[in-house]
Amino acid sequence: MDSMIRFDEYLAHLAAGLGHADREAGLRGYCSGLMLPLARKSVEPMAAHLDPLHASARHQALHHFVAKADWSDTELLRRVARWVLPTVDLSAGGYWLVDDTGFPKKGRHSVGVARQYCGVLGKQDNCQVAVSVSLACEQASLPVAWRLYLPREWAEDAGRCRQAGVPEDVRFATKPQIALSQLRALLEAGEPHHCVVADAGYGVDSAFRQGLTAMGLPYVVGITSVVRVWPPGQQPLPPKPWTGKGRPPVATRRSPEHRPLSVKKLAQSLPPEVFTELTWRQGTNEPLSGRFAAVRVRIAGSVSAKQRLHPQQWLLIEWPPTQAEPTRYWLSTLEEDTPLSELVRIAHLRWRIERDYQDLKQDLGLGHYEGRGWRGFHHHASLSIAAYGFLLEQRLRCGAMSGPDGQGKKNLMGCTVPALPADYRPRGRPARTAARGGLDHDVASSTGCLPDA
């Protein structure tokens, strides 16, 4: 089937969830603009290239659709997933990938912008950060939930939030809390209990891990080297004997001679023969491999809290032979009989979400939105994901996921960019100087008028 016909069918499928038939034109124009080969995919350049002769009117229409129209991002993303999933092979298992991404931003008025860590820049700077959940398998991945992280300084400033259009029911939540709420909503909508994969920014949060377990979701999450565990074969001391008064003690104990270890110290205490060289994926130039070990441990928890005995889980360690110490660690609640190769493969599936972000930002304008409001930020991201979903489905149907020609990767196949009129000037450009061909400077100086002192 011709890709343009398929695109029309896709947009009709999405438009059915917008709540009003008049919004289909905005959806069609916005998604088409996002897939044009433009350097900047904010509203104005897209409008100018979509309808060069009526750029101003198209700009107003697209801006209203993305920033003002009251349609559901959740419903749009649900429909994107329903279109793409029939072409995705989940027979070998699916995974929920949790991550966040930053958008450098100047000023202080754009919703959620604050000085915080920005992964794109690799440092603290002014930016917006959004949390996402993607459905992934070995074949592909697709973002299915998206939510802006609202820093505390924003969440506790009612006037600022009201001006940016933040919904009244939105309260401050950490990134792990946002991710848990996204996963909970997916499960309540009937989605499967896939294994969750996340980096150490989420894995070090014990409440996040406990929340996943409470929802019945196994996980493979990164942690830092300072997380403390009980080594294989060890566990905390049992609770104190009950004296017969009050409630029976339930808190486990430790002593100066019987204490947990950091995962770094535990890894360094393991014999070399425990580690195995494994290849987890074929890279662009060569196979990706490393040296790994996995042992069964118990999380130690906080010293001050009343801790019960935690169940055993996997500690996965990566220690390259060229390094003096281990470089990465993961915790996993996958089954006890899970092979080491499977743990390694799943832990490294997280690369897919990085590829999603790369394509969405570089090719589909994810970070190009110039508005300041909550609704526009989320609408623009949902539409970028919608455009990405169509191209992903096209690649899967054509079997071109890893083709050398990259067919369908960046732009809608067969699309062209209309030429701009010769007199078109973007907003914000200096006004053209008026023609002064008939001005006689000699006459002006002969009037005897002197310039202002």
* Residue 450 neighbours by CB distance under 10 Å: 7
Domain assignments of the chain as residue spans, ordered by start: 1-87+364-422
Tokens of 111: 């919703």
* Listed range (157-161, 177-181, 253-257, 268-272) with the worst mean pLDDT: 253-257
76 vs 310, more confident: 76
Cα 357 from Cα 359, distance rounded (Å):
6
Tell me the H-state helices in 85-199: 152-155, 158-164, 175-188
297: Cβ contacts below 8 Å, ≥ 6 apart: 229, 230, 231, 232, 263, 266, 312, 313, 314, 315
Judged against a pLDDT cut of 90, whether residue 238 lies above it is answered with no
- Rounded to a whole number of angstroms, the CA Rg of the chain reads 28
Judged against a pLDDT cut of 50, whether residue 451 lies above it is answered with no
Band the pLDDT of 411: cuts 50, 70, 90.
very low
Band the pLDDT of 449: cuts 50, 70, 90.
very low
* Contact in structure between 145 and 185 (CB atoms under 8 Å): yes
* Contact in structure between 128 and 113 (CB atoms under 8 Å): yes
- List, in sequence order, every residue forming a beta bridge with 277; answer none if it has no partner: 291
Band the pLDDT of 237: cuts 50, 70, 90.
confident
* Contact in structure between 390 and 7 (CB atoms under 8 Å): yes
Q: b/e string for 242-276 if b means 16 or more Cβ within 10 A? A: eeeeeeeeeebeeeeeeebbbbbebbeebeeeebe
- Model confidence, pTM: 0.86
Mean pLDDT on 203-225: 97
Tell me the H-state helices in 309-404: 340-347, 351-363, 374-398
234 vs 82, more confident: 82
Cα 430 from Cα 412, distance rounded (Å):
34
Mean pLDDT on 363-372: 95
* Contact in structure between 229 and 299 (CB atoms under 8 Å): yes
Band the pLDDT of 242: cuts 50, 70, 90.
confident
The pLDDT, as a whole number, for residue 410 is 44
Mean pLDDT (the chain) is 87
* Residue 423 neighbours by CB distance under 10 Å: 6
Residues 389-408 have pLDDT tens digits of 999 999 998 874 444 334 44
Mean pLDDT on 3-25: 95
